[in-house]
Amino acid sequence: MVRGQMVEVMDIPNPHEICSALRLDALMRGQWENSHFPPVNLGDFLGLLATEGQEAYCAVIRVERNPTFVKSTRRPSDLAPEPKLSIKIGGTALFRNDKLVGYLDEHETRGFLFTQGKVQGGHLEVPYPGQKGIYVSLNIIRSKAQIVPEITRDGQLKVTVKVREEANLAETDCRVDVSKVEAIKKLEMLQAKQIEREVMRAVRRAQKCKSDAFGFGAAFHRRFPREWRTMRDLWAEKYFPSLKVRVVADAKLRRTSLRLRPVFYKKDNKELYAEEEKTQPLTSGRRPRPCSIFCYWHFSTLR
């Protein structure tokens, strides 16, 4: 869906694709792993319109000013200039029945995709507590989700969203020693809290728009078909906006690559570093292992 004028999207010059539709398709195929928009085709959209208890949604296309554009006089021998406007794909358009009712931004869209189990890549920036402006960057590997509806004895409706996510450590701005188990557990806890915040932001925005794109109504329809008959007509107006949602995230940090201690770890932790050096065995004066000697002899002979 285009947010704005469709004519602006079609009029932006593109030297790589002749057809504007092929250009949009190439952009979506190249950026869907960032988890900034839902990968929904026409068949999926029509299926969502026909699904009871879940509203339709789709990606958002908008036109923005190109930051690399420079207005200058062009000579015939110069290269083709950068276009003044550029196309950006990000966010989610929320529908109710067949009418547009609101939007989700890119962070809210990723929270929404976490509930659908469709986040299979992208970068997740986690703020580090106690240090303003310091973040930990993670590369998302995969995620799964489960929606558990519940009707209490007093008739209240509740939904528990269970999210399981795995990621690799990409970059840290803070001075933390990721070679320790305690540091890894702390990063996993911060990662889980960030996922829960993004999911709750998406839920609040959808409840404000009265658009159940998450499929909570469909979950009640499957588990409580008899009670759903009485809620079906008033689900969007009465039940969904006041639905209590709880998010439980289980995040795992799989790999840290070669990132262990930061550069200033020894300077900031002199006492701790001195104790670790005392406990570590001395390695000077040891003979190399036979396998090391064999490998050195083998590669020297190959030369």
Residue in 116, 124, 88, 121 with CA at minimum distance from that of residue 206: 116
pLDDT digits (tens, 9 = 90+) for 229-279: 999 999 999 999 999 999 999 999 888 765 556 555 555 545 444 444 454
Per-residue pLDDT band for 299 (boundaries 50, 70, 90) equals: very low
pLDDT digits (tens, 9 = 90+) for 195-240: 999 999 999 999 999 999 999 999 999 999 999 999 999 999 999 9
Whether 104 and 98 have beta carbons less than 8 Å apart is answered as: no
Q: In what order do the strands lie in the sheet with 85-96?
A: 57-65, 85-96, 99-104
**SS3 for 41?**
coil
DSSP run (H or E) holding 247: strand 244-253
If one compares 170 and 115, the residue with the highest pLDDT of the two is 115
**SS3 for 97?**
coil
Share of the chain above pLDDT 70, in %: 77
Q: Is the pLDDT of residue 286 over 80?
A: no
Per-residue pLDDT band for 80 (boundaries 50, 70, 90) equals: low
| Count of C-beta atoms within a 10 Å radius of residue 105 | 16
Strands 123-127 and 244-253, by their bridges, are unpaired
Share of the chain above pLDDT 90, in %: 45
Q: How many whole angstroms separate alpha carbon 200 and alpha carbon 159? A: 12
Question: Angle, to 10 degrees, between the axis of helix 106-116 and the axis of helix 181-209?
Answer: 100
Which residues, other chains included, contact 5 with Cβ-Cβ below 8 Å and sequence gap of 6+? 63
Beta strand extents in 53-199 (DSSP E only) = 57-65, 85-96, 99-104, 123-127, 135-151, 157-172
The two structure tokens encoding residue 197:
């915040």
Domains plus CATH for the chain? 6-72+81-272 (3.30.300.210)
pLDDT for position 276? 47
